[in-house]
Amino acid sequence: MIEAVVFDMDGVLLASEEVWDAVRERYVRERGGRYDAEIQRAMMGMSSTEWSRYLHEHAGLAAEPAAINADVVELMRAAYREHLPLIDGAVDAVRRIGARWPLGLASSSNRELIDLVLAETGLTPLFRATVSSEEVARGKPAPDVYLEAARRLGLGPERCAAVEDSHGGIRSAKSAGMRVIAIPNPTYPPDAGALSLADVALESIAELDESVVDAT
């Protein structure tokens, strides 16, 4: 029986992968680095520690990873303050699911961005546990962020359902032992192998309700 639901944030609540992509591409190119589809896809799901190191090592950026991370996060904060790219139906879905189950959040975003998004949407009180992958040893597709979310919820991961959109996120939640509700990202869809691991697949978050969680 499912006793809690853990949401991803980027791609599930926010159409933010495009924002991340645009911000990092501009940042890298302005500094003479390389940014292409290979680099973009490789970074999906990485923690801030991982993607900032990746840009330093593979995109030709001279700045140290900590400086890259700080610069990009500040650009993301500015982008979100100008326009928060909420996915239609996401806030209502969280409120719907939160009316019955305790909620967690397991995100690859930085802590500052998680807190900003939840505050701006008024959803902070609904989440009993929130985890950034920068707070665990490994980012997605490793299970660490979902295992930590379950620990903070006080539950075994097998008693949790995860809501995910990406190949790395689906693999992360599944390897943690959670039931997985996939809502494929239309811009950066998960590969067929990852999607086959999901217990339920939806076309949009507007379809997420109690019956879907119960069906997992």
Catalytic residue list: 8, 10
Measured from the Cβ of residue 148, the count of other Cβ atoms closer than 10 Å reads 21
- Containing 212, the helix (H) or strand (E) segment is helix 210-215
Cis bond upstream, residue 189 (ω within 30): no
The answer to whether the CB of 10 falls within 8 A of the CB of 180 is no
Q: How far is CA 122 from the centre of its chain?
A: 18
Q: Is residue 62 exposed (0-12), middle (13-18) or buried (19+ Cβ within 10 Å)?
A: exposed
Cα dihedral 162, 66, 53, 60 sign: positive
Measured from the Cβ of residue 114, the count of other Cβ atoms closer than 10 Å reads 21
Provide the pairing of β-strand 179-182 with 200-201.
parallel
Which residues on adjacent β-strands are paired with residue 63?
Answer: none
Which residues on adjacent β-strands are paired with residue 106?
Answer: 131
